[in-house]
Amino acid sequence: MSSTRQKLIAILGPTASGKTSLAVRLARHFRGEIISADSRQVFRGLDIGTGKDLKEYSGSDGSGRLWRVPYHLLDVIDPSEEYSLAQYQKAVLLAMAGIHQRGRIPFLAGGSGLYAQAVIDNYQLDDRGPDRELRAALNGLSTEEIFRRLSEADPEQTYGLSASEKANRHRLIRRLEKIKQGNNICRTGQPLFDSLVLALSRPRSELDERIQARLRARLESEDLIKEVENLLASGLSAQRLISFGLEYKYIVLYLQKKLSYEQLFEQLFIAIRQFSRRQLTWLRRWEKQGRAIHWLKDTQEALALTADFLRAEKNAP
């Protein structure tokens, strides 16, 4: 029996594993469009630090013909504004509808496991305001316990937080509230899409080398520090930038002369490396929950799996 659900291919994995380049290759091969699954790439101006890599979405082939892969959910909101998981989910549904109407294939690519899972498992979310019942329950917990629960719910929300931020009960509760809203009613609904989940993974030593090389390139030749300076000059507060974690947090501290350049590089490298471990942990946990995840050996396997997945519907009786 042929599935009536729209096909969706997800390309996930830790930072610096090569998700964007693989997604672009698959999208070009299968006439697709890419939807970003990254919690920070939705913000305008956060380009180098979030790895938007916009240049990878277009180019020319060997004969000089130009090509471009359409993309979605990049640069959708100012960094001074909040953007919830529910807003992201709704925006993806709109993007998926347009891609379907154009007769193209959607590829969901990124490193934010929560965002990908919210789309694929159809989290039941909404944009409600403060949940007083949830807040009352959380207020009965210690700040350490609230932080632990937030870290379990979405590791990306807790990376790069300073000691003072970890102790900010109001902010921690609000972050956890945004994630949990709707989950007490029904965590997941009937999946809206027929999804193939592909995941990239590399040997730990190789991934660490890629993280280090990419960080050095961004700091030394891609003007990442200048990007942060420009964001501050535009009126974005240092505290807001710090809340984005990782690159933005550490570079702000460097510009505030709280870190030397050597400390910036070393501490940021360690933080990104730890973050990549958490990204893999999220995927492994999702897999244990029953999600079929295909861990790729190479690009040819990705091409073959995608072709078989798309062919299955066409050949179904």
Query: In residues, how long is the chain?
Result: 317
User: How much is the pLDDT for 40?
Assistant: 96
pLDDT in tens, the chain (317 residues): 345 799 999 999 999 999 999 999 999 999 999 999 999 999 999 999 999 999 999 999 989 999 999 999 999 999 999 888 889 999 999 999 999 999 999 999 999 999 999 999 999 876 666 678 888 888 889 999 999 888 888 776 776 666 767 878 887 888 888 776 544 434 688 999 999 999 998 999 999 999 999 999 999 999 999 999 999 999 999 999 998 999 999 999 999 999 999 999 999 999 999 999 999 999 999 999 999 999 999 999 999 999 999 998 665 55
pTM, entire model: 0.84
Report how far residue 70's alpha carbon sits from residue 76's, in angstroms, rounded to the nearest whole number. Answer: 15
Is CATH 3.40.50.300 what the domain over 6-128+181-315 is classified as, yes or no?
yes
User: How much is the pLDDT for 162?
Assistant: 63
Binding residues for ATP: 13-20
User: How much is the pLDDT for 183?
Assistant: 47
Binding residues: 13-20
Binding residues for substrate: 15-20
Q: Whose structure tokens read 């299968």?
A: 30
User: How much is the pLDDT for 270?
Assistant: 97
Report how far residue 313's alpha carbon sits from residue 221's, in angstroms, rounded to the nearest whole number. Answer: 46
- Report the alpha-carbon angle 28-215-114, nearest 5: 60
User: How much is the pLDDT for 172?
Assistant: 87
Structural domain boundaries in the chain? 6-128+181-315, 129-180
User: How much is the pLDDT for 302?
Assistant: 98
